[in-house]
Amino acid sequence: MNYDSPSLTVVSTEVEPGAIRWRSPSNIALVKYWGKHGDQLPRNASVSFTLDGAATDTTLHYSARKAAGEGVEVELYFHGTMKPDFTARTKKYLERLLPIYPFLQQLSLRIETSNSFPHSAGIASSASGMSALALCLVSLEEQLFGTMTDRDAFLRKASYLARLGSGSASRSVYGTAALWGAVSEVEFSSDEYALPVADRIHPVFQTYHDDILLISKTEKSVSSRAGHGLMDLNPYAGARYAQANRRVVTMLDILRRGDTENFGELLESEALTLHALMMSSHPYYTLIEPNTLHVIRTLQQFRRETGHPVHFTLDAGPNVHLLYPDTVASEVRNFIREHLLYFCEDKMYLADRVGKGPQQLPVNETSSD
């Protein structure tokens, strides 16, 4: 796929100032992406549920640039405050997109962004943030050039652009569930963008909750970027990539059949494998905390006692995601409140669930803060 388009330039005097707003959710990987190469290409395929509540709301304001200059002219406001570090990162990202969107250099951009989840919750916002921005950019292309009227092509390009910002963000542009990475068993699957797989998901999984137990809100000691990098020298890397590609196919089959038991087993093994890869990197590191293990053990006991299909997964951090179908929601909520909040920082958790994907919003609505 080559999206380079030298012809996408504007006549500055003809650009009317405008704005575009998208709200895009986070996602939770069921089979994890861990290890990359080249221009943000994955070493293995991954599959995720798209979340509902945890989302980023981004408004992209644009107008013709007053004076021609090098690079992209952009300012980024996070929850209403100008953020020099986010601005610098976003500028760098947008400048990487110049071969695809040369018109970005001809505009003056102001980005207002806010997350629905608490600022200090220790929840990664790169998937929701990068997908929201990518969707705004493709909408901007459509607004300026009318080249993006086909919805599938629109979302595919947004997924591609989101991937260049953060790999996992490529999956957030689709509701319910998404597959990113080429696997021979799935036609059109690609390392360059994610595919929607909502129509292959059994109804039981469409009702799934994801309650995120906030074990620690402290910023992680090793970033995802560094973690991916360490996979290059991990002695288990080759076996892991092959395993993950097989597991994606198995997981898709489980999701199609509505098999909640095998879902849970694979989900949990994926979480522990991700952290085992961190522990077997050089230098080795741990991101789980003692309370992560306490939650896992307590959950295993609850499952033995009740037989309820509630299972855990982990991201690249200590927080525990509990995934379960709606049929057991009230029992699981009671269990969380009575037995698990004790292990959470400030007794906090976020109740989320599988969601329908990003939404374009009218610009004049007040941003969620």
The piece of 89-97, 136-144, 145-153, 160-168 that touches ligand PMV (CB under 6 A) is 160-168
> Given the complex with ligand PMV, which of 122 and 167 has the nearer CB atom?
167
Cis peptide before 290 (omega within 30 of 0): no
Output the CA angle 356-362-366, nearest 5 degrees.
Answer: 100
Residue 135 to residues 12, 237, 243, 328: CA-CA distances in angstroms? 23, 33, 32, 35
Pairing of strands 107-115, 73-78: parallel
The piece of 12-20, 27-35, 195-203, 229-237 that touches ligand PMV (CB under 6 A) is 27-35
Residues 6 or more apart whose CB falls under 8 angstroms from that of 166 comprise 40, 126, 127, 129, 130
Q: What are phi and psi of 296, to 5 degrees?
A: -60, -45
Judged by DSSP in three states, 222 sits in: coil
Go through 102-137 and write b for each residue having 16 or more CB atoms within 10 A of its CB, e for each that does not: bbbbbbbbbbbbbbbbeeebbbbbbbbbbbbbbbbb
Side-chain half-sphere CA neighbours of 132 within 13 A: 29
Q: Does 32 bind ligand PMV (CB under 6 A)?
A: yes
- Other beta carbons within 10 Å of 160: 21
> Given the complex with ligand PMV, which of 50 and 59 has the nearer CB atom?
50
**The one among 268, 315, 345, 352 contacting ligand PMV by CB under 6 A:** 315
- Count of residues that bind ligand PMV according to CB under 6 A: 14
Q: Does 168 bind ligand PMV (CB under 6 A)?
A: yes
**The one among 29, 134, 140, 164 contacting ligand PMV by CB under 6 A:** 29
C-alpha 200/C-alpha 273 separation (Å) is 25
> Given the complex with ligand PMV, which of 167 and 196 has the nearer CB atom?
167
Give min distance, CB of 156 to ligand PMV, in A: 18
Residues 6 or more apart whose CB falls under 8 angstroms from that of 231 comprise 34, 35, 36, 43, 237, 240, 277, 281
**The one among 26, 46, 108, 116 contacting ligand PMV by CB under 6 A:** 46
> Given the complex with ligand PMV, which of 32 and 156 has the nearer CB atom?
32
Question: What is the radius of gyration, based on Cα positions, of the chain?
Answer: 21
Cα dihedral 238→241→246→250 (10° resolution): 140
Give min distance, CB of 140 to ligand PMV, in A: 23
Give min distance, CB of 278 to ligand PMV, in A: 10
> Given the complex with ligand PMV, which of 223 and 368 has the nearer CB atom?
223
The piece of 8-16, 163-171, 305-313, 329-337 that touches ligand PMV (CB under 6 A) is 163-171
Give min distance, CB of 223 to ligand PMV, in A: 8
Give min distance, CB of 70 to ligand PMV, in A: 28
Give min distance, CB of 31 to ligand PMV, in A: 8
- The interface with ligand PMV within residues 257-276 (CB under 6 A) comprises 274
**The one among 167, 175, 181, 358 contacting ligand PMV by CB under 6 A:** 167
C-alpha 222/C-alpha 225 separation (Å) is 8
Write the interaction track for ligand PMV spanning residues 99-138; mark x where CB under 6 A is met and - where it is not: ---------------------------x------------
Q: Does 316 bind ligand PMV (CB under 6 A)?
A: yes
C-alpha 243/C-alpha 241 separation (Å) is 5
Write the interaction track for ligand PMV spanning residues 195-234; mark x where CB under 6 A is met and - where it is not: -----------------------------x---x------
Residue 159 in tokens: 């997924």
- Other beta carbons within 10 Å of 18: 13
Residue 177 in tokens: 């569930």
Give min distance, CB of 284 to ligand PMV, in A: 17
The piece of 28-36, 49-57, 79-87, 103-111 that touches ligand PMV (CB under 6 A) is 28-36
Q: Which residues bind ligand PMV (CB under 6 A)?
A: 29, 32-34, 46, 126, 166-168, 224, 228, 274, 315-316
